[in-house]
């Protein structure tokens, strides 16, 4: 680099020009067409002293401008800039603009240079504007666009870019994506707050960085999901890496907000074979997500590799979701009713409404075939509203036929969270004309536990309006005595896992059932034994003081028309009560059918039945 106009006569600057330069607030140089620095203004000299950088010092009339440029760097960008400046000095360009970074002890500072001729074109003013703040803000913005600010890991967008680049790399080997979901993270958020949750995520990110291979990239997709991109990693290798990640998180407890926290991780793995055509990051991440969903379904701490069957199942669920939404509007849903026995009197005075889907092509579908889809596609609330309308309407029809029955309807946690539960129940009662005292709203213990305060307010409002409330599946989850005391409820449904005791465990089951019955009685709550499938189980429920029982030993769920005749024949309703000694087999012929399921899952958010 150097001047290309050596020997070109350059007029000396007069005092007026120098005064104008010194008045400029920007560090500026006056350079002749021969590339010799003729003058540096006061702002330039102040900047040089402030930066204490000898590379910028210029001797007027002696220093070659291109020598100053060489001191600052010899990279291609700087060389290209020097070439443009030489063209400017030759009169081939009207102006030169250039942005560059200057390495300084306190960090790189950035400047915008503008050079243009003055006077007769044999002298040039070169000004330098400090744009450090703008460049740093722009770079920070660009960094934030590609990284998660909490963990400093690559974010979803950047991860997709990295995966796409690796998929396009010539000669790449197998690449695996590991999608990791932290088990138990929400519990920390709920118990200790979001600040503790954020600290936990930072610690998890640090451990995953340490365990990753040198070529791996760890990123955060969002919430408590992390993605590990592993180039040159076949499926069996990916499973090994997944297990190493699990061990790294589980080996040593985390400490956040003064609490010791143990975490596990579920992992979904998707692998792109070498040379596979048509692959994109979005599809591969989706495959890993499907594998993760399968891993979660297998229980905490599972590792699952993607298979084409998982995609087919997801596609079927998507189709089923569209069909279910249409089915709710088209009247394809039906209710079956399972009779409930009042043990002290031997009277069948109640039923539980259980939804089915009369699919036009697949026939009658049990709830286990579509309730998970309803939950996934936010159809639980409209589904429950339909059930409420149909069940209350049928109850009124039975009353008109002389069958005065209590009808139980299952509600979901999703319905509780909407805040419309009470209005939806009261609307169904008003439209059908059903007495509120004939309706029991059932919620599972786990759904109530998601937000006990919100649940308690809505359940109390239902009871104030005359509607009874039942807690379903009691004893199947983390039952809380305090929660039971605080919840406004009138019936506890003892989970079938307690009622259907295994061989030789009758004594233990009896102790558990007796404890639940006594607890309920102390709180003014009646108990119902669900899942009764044998005469012995029915007898035990009666002996221990259960108020009600239901199950396949007594009666299977049946369509409304069939239930009408069945209940009438057995004196259903208080107007046709009959006495039947507790513990006896009240329903001949109602033993479980060959191949029947172990009872009926009785909540809209349950998978079974």
Residues of the chain with CATH 3.20.20.450: 315-576
Per-residue pLDDT for 381 more than 50? yes
Per-residue confidence (pLDDT) for residue 72, from 0 to 100: 85
Third-level CATH fold of 15-135: Beta-Lactamase (3.30.450)
- Is 96:85 a contact under the CB 8 Å cutoff? yes
CB 170: neighbour CB atoms within 10 A? Answer: 4
Percentage of the chain exceeding pLDDT 70: 89
The confidence score (pLDDT) of residue 137 equals 92
Binning pLDDT at 50, 70 and 90, where does residue 9 land? low
Q: Within the chain, which residue ranges are assigned CATH 3.30.450.20? A: 15-135
| Rounded Cα gap, residues 602 and 500, in angstroms | 16
pLDDT of 578 strictly over 70: no
Q: Cα–Cα distance between 228 and 180 in angstroms, integer? A: 8
Q: Tens digits of per-residue pLDDT, 160-175?
A: 999 999 999 988 999 9
What distance in Å separates the CA atoms of residue 552 and residue 556, rounded to the nearest whole number? Answer: 5
Averaged pLDDT, 411-417: 86
pLDDT higher than threshold 50 for residue 577: no
Which residue ranges does the chain devote to CATH 3.30.70.270? 147-306
Identify the burial level of 165 via C-beta atoms within 10 angstroms of its C-beta, where 0-12 means exposed, 13-18 middle and 19 or more buried: exposed
pLDDT, averaged across the chain: 86
What b-and-e string marks burial along 535-547, b requiring 16 or more CB atoms within 10 Å of the CB? eebbebbbebbbb
Interaxial angle between packed helices 235-251 and 194-211, expressed in degrees from 0 to 180 and rounded to the nearest 10: 130
pLDDT at 4: 42
Query: For the residues of 67-96, what is the DSSP string, one character each?
Result: HHHHHH--SHHHHHHHHHHHHHHTTS-S-E
User: The tokens of 315 are what?
Assistant: 């596609």
Choose the CATH number for 147-306 among 2.60.40.10, 3.30.70.270, 3.40.50.880, 3.40.50.300: 3.30.70.270
Q: Which helix (H) or strand (E) holds 254?
A: strand 254-256
State how far the alpha carbon of 604 is from the alpha carbons of 257, 341, 356, 530, in Å.
Answer: 37, 22, 10, 16
pLDDT tens digits, 488-539: 888 988 888 888 776 667 787 788 889 889 888 888 899 999 999 999 999 9
Asked if 189 contacts 197 with a C-beta cutoff of 8 angstroms, the reply is yes
* Token duo for residue 532: 């009764």
The contacts found for 274-277 with CB under 8 angstroms, 24 or more apart, are 274/172, 274/173, 274/174
Instruction: Tell me how far apart the alpha carbons of residues 276 and 167 are, in angstroms, rounded to a whole number.
Output: 8
- Cα angle, residue 425 at apex, residues 336 and 516 outer, rounded to 5°: 70
* pLDDT number for residue 589: 32
At residue 73, does pLDDT exceed 90?
Answer: no
- Two tokens, residue 36: 């010799």
Q: How confident is the model at residue 279 (pLDDT cuts 50, 70, 90)?
A: confident
Q: Which of 123-127, 201-205, 236-240, 583-587 has the lowest mean pLDDT?
A: 583-587
Model pLDDT, residue 15: 79
CA nearest to 546, candidates 537, 558, 559, 555? 537
Gap between the Cα atoms of 521 and 502, Å rounded = 26
CA distance linking residue 293 with residue 309, whole number of Å: 13
How are the residues of the chain apportioned to helix, strand and coil, as percentages rounded to the nearest 5? 45, 20, 35
The answer to whether residues 596 and 590 touch, using CB atoms and an 8 Å cutoff, is no
Q: List the Cα angle 331/333/338 in 5-degree steps.
A: 140
Statement: residue 606 has pLDDT above 70 = no
Supply the pLDDT for residue 131: 95
Kindly tell me if the per-residue pLDDT of 484 is higher than 70.
no
Q: Give the DSSP letter of residue 595.
A: T
317 token code pair: 């669920």
State residue 10's pLDDT score: 60
The closest alpha carbon to 337, from 561, 123, 6, belongs to 561
Instruction: Give start and end residues of each alpha helix (H) in 101-151.
Output: 132-146
Report the distance separating Cα 404 and Cα 568, nearest Å. Answer: 11
Q: 315-576: what fold?
A: TIM Barrel (3.20.20)
pLDDT level of residue 456 (50, 70, 90 thresholds):
confident
**Distance, CA of 512 to CA of 502 (rounded, Å):** 14
Using a pLDDT cut of 90, give the percent of the chain over it.
60
Q: Cα–Cα distance between 328 and 373 in angstroms, integer?
A: 13
DSSP annotation of 35: S
CA distance linking residue 4 with residue 29, whole number of Å:
19
Q: pLDDT (tens digit, 9 = 90+) per residue, 305-353?
A: 999 999 998 898 899 999 999 999 898 999 999 999 999 999 999 999 9
Give the residue ranges of DSSP H helices in 73-226: 76-89, 132-146, 156-168, 185-192, 194-211
């Amino acid at each position: 680099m150097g001047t290309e106009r050596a020997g070109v006569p350059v007029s000396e600057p007069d005092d007026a020009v120098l005064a104008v330069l010194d008045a400029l607030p920007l560090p500026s140089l006056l350079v002749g067409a021969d590339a010799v620095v003729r003058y540096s203004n006061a702002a330039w000299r102040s900047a040089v002293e402030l930066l204490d950088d000898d590379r910028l010092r210029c001797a007027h009339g002696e220093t070659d401008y291109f020598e100053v440029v060489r001191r600052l760097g010899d990279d291609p960008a700087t060389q290209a800039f020097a070439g443009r400046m030489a063209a400017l000095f030759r009169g081939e360009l009207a102006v030169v603009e250039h942005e560059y970074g200057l390495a300084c002890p306190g960090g790189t500072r950035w400047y915008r240079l503008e050079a243009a001729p003055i006077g007769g074109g044999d002298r040039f003013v070169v000004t330098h504007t400090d744009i450090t703040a703008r460049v740093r803000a722009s770079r920070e913005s660009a960094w934030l666009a590609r990284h998660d600010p909490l963990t400093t890991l690559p974010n979803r967008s950047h991860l997709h870019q990295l995966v796409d680049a690796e998929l396009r790399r010539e000669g790449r080997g197998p690449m695996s994506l590991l999608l990791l979901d932290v088990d138990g993270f929400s519990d920390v958020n709920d118990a200790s707050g979001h600040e503790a949750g954020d600290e936990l995520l930072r610690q998890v990110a640090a451990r995953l960085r340490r365990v990753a291979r040198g070529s791996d990239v760890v990123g955060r997709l969002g919430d408590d999901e992390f993605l590990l991109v592993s180039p040159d990693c076949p499926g069996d290798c990916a499973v090994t890496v997944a297990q190493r990640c699990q061990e790294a998180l589980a080996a040593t407890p985390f400490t956040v907000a003064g609490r010791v926290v143990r975490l596990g991780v579920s992992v979904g793995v998707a692998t792109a074979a070498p040379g596979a055509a048509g692959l994109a990051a979005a599809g591969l991440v989706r495959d890993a997500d499907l594998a993760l969903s399968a891993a979660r379904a297998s229980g905490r701490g599972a590792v699952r590799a993607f298979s084409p069957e998982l995609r087919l199942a997801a596609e079927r669920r998507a189709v089923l979701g569209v069909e279910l939404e249409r089915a709710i509007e088209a009247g394809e849903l039906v209710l079956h009713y399972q009779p409930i026995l009042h043990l002290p009197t031997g009277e069948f005075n109640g039923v539980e409404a259980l939804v089915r889907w009369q699919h036009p092509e697949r026939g009658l579908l049990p709830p286990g075939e579509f309730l998970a889809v309803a939950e996934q596609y936010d159809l639980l609330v409209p589904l429950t509203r339909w059930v409420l309308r149909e069940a209350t309407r049928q109850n009124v029809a039975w009353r008109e036929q002389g069958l005065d029955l209590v009808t139980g309807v299952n509600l979901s946690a999703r319905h509780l969270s909407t805040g419309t539960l009470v209005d939806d129940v009261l609307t169904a009662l008003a439209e059908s004309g059903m007495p509120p005292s004939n309706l029991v709203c059932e919620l599972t213990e786990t759904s109530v536990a998601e937000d006990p305060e919100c649940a308690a307010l809505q359940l109390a409002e239902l009871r104030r309006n005359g509607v009874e409330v039942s807690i379903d599946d009691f004893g199947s989850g983390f039952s809380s005595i305090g929660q039971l005391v605080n919840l406004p409820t009138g019936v506890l449904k003892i989970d079938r896992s307690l009622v259907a005791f295994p061989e030789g465990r009758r004594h233990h089951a009896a102790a558990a059932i007796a404890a639940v019955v006594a607890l309920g009685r102390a709180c003014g709550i009646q108990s119902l034994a669900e899942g009764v499938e044998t005469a012995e189980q029915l007898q035990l429920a009666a002996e221990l003081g259960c108020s009600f029982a239901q199950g396949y030993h007594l009666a299977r769920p049946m369509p409304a028309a069939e239930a009408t005749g069945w209940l009438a024949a057995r004196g259903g309703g208080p107007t046709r009560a009959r006495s039947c000694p507790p513990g006896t087999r009240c329903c001949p012929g109602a033993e479980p059918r060959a191949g029947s399921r172990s009872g009926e899952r009785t909540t809209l958010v349950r998978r079974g039945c």
